[in-house]
Amino acid sequence: MRDGASDGCLLEVRNVCKAFPGVVALDDVSLRVGRGTVHALSGENGAGKSTLMKIIAGIYAPDSGELLLNGRAVRFSSPRDALRHGIAMIHQELNLMPHMSVAENVWIRREPVNALGLISHRELRRRTRALLERLRIDIDPDAEVRTLTIAARQMIEIARALSFESELLIMDEPTSALSERDAGHLFAIIRELKAQGKGILYITHRLEELFEIADEVSVLRDGRYVGSGTPASLTREAIVRMMVGRELSPVVLDGEARRGAILLAARGLTLAPHFYDVSFELHAGEILGIAGLVGSGRTKLAEALFGLTPASSGRLSIGDREVKIDSPQSAISRGLAFVTEDRKESGCFLTLSVLENLEISVLRGEFVRLGFVRPRAVLAACAAMCALLRVKTPDLHSPIANLSGGNQQKVLIGRCLLTRPRILILDEPTRGVDVAAKAEIHQLISRLVAEGTAVLLISSELPEILRTSHRIMVMREGRVTGILDRAEADQVKIMDLAAA
């Protein structure tokens, strides 16, 4: 405990406290990261993970407590200072410049120069290639970043972090935007880094990953250290209990019993080059999961059903009537609702309040008289929705930007539910959402389904799809490769159908 360096301890966090006006974000948290190990940090949103990471990365200064790097007490004045000490952070949101090349992004502000003081592009390329080779990443150093996939960008972030010869890498939910296959590649890189003796602090919501990659798991709750252990010594349930502090009732699905009449039927929907000849039926009271790799056309299909980018051919019927949906308005008026996959991009109104985010889709009919919004009626409906979804917010007038990801997601689902949809399309409804909120969202979905709502659930997380769906439609490169019943589906079968 006295001397960390001798026992292979790279970073030690001792009794760190941090308070913000009104909240104690971290209360006496201690943690150790060893060389060549992956230390996973888990906890619900708002548990203090981000604050702890930001202290380690030099973004915040702790109120009390200390950081020991290789056994020596350090105090960082800025992220650059932390970087100089060998600590690099890979942010959840990618910070790359889309119009510049990979090499330029990696070495920005540290470009090698030639005798004239100009940037030497040859040297830049050579260094980048060497760096990428060391990590076994196969990306062209000259490629423009905007042409690359999210997964490739993630790899470049990691390469950039390592280009500082960092000893400790902090990864904040690096797989949240990756498909299973890309996540596998990322894990391979992490193992490579471990072999090179780097320490990794790994933040994640996905419990499966803890068991796959972590050497040690620590859990925070409400800013306090709850416990830790090796994945071998912990069960999934034990970790969830530590995170949430109570037992979560698992989602119970009533199989086919309540499946009702066909609500939505698609015949030969096509929108080149995104998807071709998609046919399926969705019953009342059914959850149809859509699985597939990123780029398989799942999201485009959802957008077409909702009228955002209508299909160019094919037929669609709702109930027993054939319909043409060419705009979101017509979709909503026919009882559809859509929760998009990207909360920031196409979900939240970040400058507006929770109330204003909720009410937007129902500003008509009973809630509006002569153009004037009826504030009491709207407020009552929105407050009831918040209570139903258990949205944690000080009040309906606080900015939605202040809410955690899980609560923002609940607000967006609430926005859809206020329109009383018969058909709900959910695109990655639990991405970046903590375990408790995730369970609550799943429970909500099953309750809706029990009431006769039909749900289309798109998810990159196979366990989620397998656990919640009645049937699973698998897509590959824009085509439906199979529709599996819940009883016959498993991860292997789905991956077989999804991967080329």
Binding residues for another protein, rule: CB under 8 A, are 20-22, 306, 308, 327-329, 331-332, 338, 340, 345-352, 356, 359-361, 363-364, 368, 371-373, 375-376, 379-381, 383-384, 386-387, 394-399, 401-402, 415, 419
Nearer to another protein, 134 or 374 (CB): 374
| Nearest C-alpha neighbor of 426 from the set 330, 312, 310, 289 | 289
Other residues' Cβ atoms within 10 Å of the Cβ of residue 334: 19
In the complex with another protein, the residue whose CB is nearer, 53 or 68, is 53
Q: How far from 36 is each of 39, 165, 215, 233, CA to CA, in Å?
A: 10, 14, 10, 20
- Nearer to another protein by Cβ, of 293 and 391: the residue is 391
**At closest approach, how far in Å is the CB of 332 from another protein?**
4
Hey, what amino acid is at 284?
A
Residues 41, 215: contact at Cβ < 8 Å? Answer: no
What CA–CA distance (Å, rounded) separates 330 from 310?
A: 11
DSSP 47-70: SSHHHHHHHHTTSS--SEEEEEET
Strand partners, 287: 455
- Among residues 110 and 364, whose Cβ is nearest to another protein? 364
Least Å from the CB of residue 329 to another protein: 5
Q: Which is nearer to another protein, 59 or 499 (CB)?
A: 59
Q: b/e per residue, 372-382, with b = 16+ CB within 10 A?
A: eeeeeebbebb
C-beta of 243 vs 301, nearer to another protein = 301
Task: Indicate the residue among 380 and 487 with the shorter CB distance to another protein.
Answer: 380
Q: With beta carbons less than 8 A apart as the criterion, state whether 274 and 300 touch.
A: yes
Q: Cβ closer to another protein: 225 or 338?
A: 338
479: CB partners within 8 A, 6+ apart: 275, 276, 277, 278, 297
* Rounded-to-integer distance, Cα 388 and Cα 402, Å: 20
Coil vs helix vs strand at 124: helix
What are phi and psi for residue 477, nearest 5 degrees? 45, 45
Least distance (Å) between residue 52 CB and another protein: 17
Which residue type sits at 480?
V
Supply the minimum distance, in Å, between the C-beta of residue 289 and another protein: 21
Whole-angstrom distance, CA of residue 354 vs CA of residue 391 = 10
User: Measured from the CB of residue 449, what is the shortest distance to another protein in angstroms?
Assistant: 21
Helices within 174-268 (DSSP H only) = 180-195, 207-213, 236-244
For residue 45, the 8-state DSSP code is T
3-state secondary structure of 363: coil
Check if the beta carbon of residue 200 is closer than 8 Å to that of residue 216.
no
Q: Are 373 and 366 in contact (CB under 8 A)?
A: no
Closer residue to another protein in complex, CB, 411/484: 411
Say how many C-beta atoms besides its own lie within 10 A of residue 38's C-beta.
26
Q: Which residue lies nearer to another protein by CB, 209 or 341?
A: 341
Residue 346 CB, nearest approach to another protein (Å): 4
* Length in residues, the chain: 500
- In angstroms, what is the minimal distance from the CB of 54 to another protein? 12
Q: How far is the CB of 307 from another protein (least distance, A)?
A: 9
Least Å distance, CB 347 to another protein, is: 6
Give CA–CA dist 213/320, Å, rounded. Answer: 50
Of 352 and 495, the one with the shorter C-beta distance to another protein is 352
**In the complex, least distance from residue 348 CB atom to another protein, rounded to whole angstroms:** 7
SS3 content of the chain, % helix, strand, coil (to 5): 35, 25, 35
Shortest CB 345 distance to another protein, Å: 6
